[in-house]
Amino acid sequence: MHKKVGWFIVAIWVILSGMIFVWLQQYGLPLLFVYVDAFVASTLTIALLWIGLLLTRPYPTNAGACMYSSFIGVIVGLVVWYVDRSVLRLAFGSDERILSFVSQSSFARMVISVLIQTWASTLAYLWRQNKRLNEQLMQMSDASSMRRDAELFKLRNQLQPHFLYNSLNSVNALIFLDPNKAQEMIGKLSDFLRKAVKQESEEALLFSDELNRIQAYLEIEIIRFGDRLHIVFDCVEIEKAMIPPFLLQPLLENAVKFGLYGQTGQVQISFSAKFSEGNLIVTISNPFDAEFRPPKGTGFGLEGINRRLYLLYGRTDLLITTQVDHTFVTQIKIPQNHAQSYIDR
């Protein structure tokens, strides 16, 4: 970094010297004077420009900082003009033509010197302000990202306690009524929890992996409810789609809970998935009793899923629920371009 800055300063010095050299040659002045004047003026300008930038750096507050930078530029510019004029008079004091030229060009030199130094000081101040602002924005972005990740972690890891409680209660009851089923249910529950823990740290995973975990969950529910619960899957050639983990289970829990609520016969729950316009669309439908159904929007887990979808994709239209006759339909859309970029991060 310092090496690049050094080369940049050298380049500015060469350009400035060349400009002064070309300007002085137009007046037919002695070549020695032209070389000396170009060297002294450019060297003083660069050296005192650096000093001026150092003087503007420690200004403690933003209030009046731009004015302070301009003031430093004016002072340094006047110093450059005065020292340059003094050196030229001292070196070429015996040449009346050169002294006359220095006197005649004195005002122009002063104005140019002040403008250069003031411009540089102000530009340096604005650059530092921009850098400080970018750092603040970066800190705010990092803080916002940390809060977002923390909330996502909390939402993603809220494995509903009632599912575990109900499963354990069912195991407790089956131990006396049907020990073999109780043993089978414990094995299924163990497999489900093992898969859940394995996927806990994933930010996104293949739909096929999420589907395997969902089927493990539903096998437990089928043991609990027996022939009353019938699940129909329709997921063709979408195994490679990406999906955030633990996103669909609350919807299925909702479907099982309210699909069986108030029902005595067999209940069919449909689970389908398809691609449409760059989205993975998952649809879950279950029957419900309108008299016992809670008001729309109060279904368990829907608010948490909506919030999680918003944090992941910045959209509020990805979860849709509808009621058709005696069927409750939940549809969730997963943008695949976002899901892929999220898993690649």
Q: How far apart are CA 189 and CA 176, in angstroms?
A: 18
Question: What's the rounded mean pLDDT across residues 71-80?
Answer: 74
122/181 same-domain check? no
Per residue in 96-128, pLDDT (tens digit) is 888 888 778 777 777 777 777 777 777 777 777
Last residue of a domain, one of 143, 171, 192: 143
Position 321 scores a pLDDT of: 92
Residue 113 burial by CB count (10 A; 0-12/13-18/19+): exposed, middle or buried? buried
Single residue among 143, 167, 189 that ends a domain in this structure:
143
**What is the reported pTM?**
0.56
185 shares a domain with 137: no
In a domain, 81, yes or no: yes
Cα torsion 169, 173, 178, 180: sign: positive
pLDDT-derived band at 343 (thresholds 50, 70, 90) equals: very low
**C-alpha pair distances (Å), 9 with each of 3, 43, 321:** 10, 10, 65
| Best CA proximity match to 300, nearest among 247, 257, 262, 260 | 257
pLDDT tens across 13-28, in order?
788 888 888 888 888 8
Look up residue 94 and give its two tokens.
Answer: 């015996």
pLDDT (tens digit per residue) in 221-244: 888 888 889 999 998 777 678 998
Q: 168 and 124, same structural domain?
A: no
Task: Tell me what the mean pLDDT of segment 140-145 comes to.
Answer: 71
Question: What are the structure tokens assigned to 75, written together?
Answer: 């002072």
d(C-alpha 212, C-alpha 192), whole Å: 9
Distance CA(21)–CA(33), nearest Å, equals: 10
Give the CATH number of the domain where residue 202 resides.
3.30.565.10
Instruction: Report strand pairing: 229-235 vs 267-276.
Output: parallel
Average per-residue pLDDT for the chain = 78
Residues 118 and 166 occupy one common structural domain: no
For the chain, give the number of residues.
Answer: 345
Report pLDDT digits (tens) over 311-339. 888 888 999 999 888 889 999 999 987 55
Q: Using one digit for the tens of pLDDT, what is the confidence trace for 187-219?
A: 888 887 777 777 666 778 889 888 888 888 888
Phi-psi map region of 108: left, alpha, beta (phi>0 left; psi -120 to 50 alpha): alpha
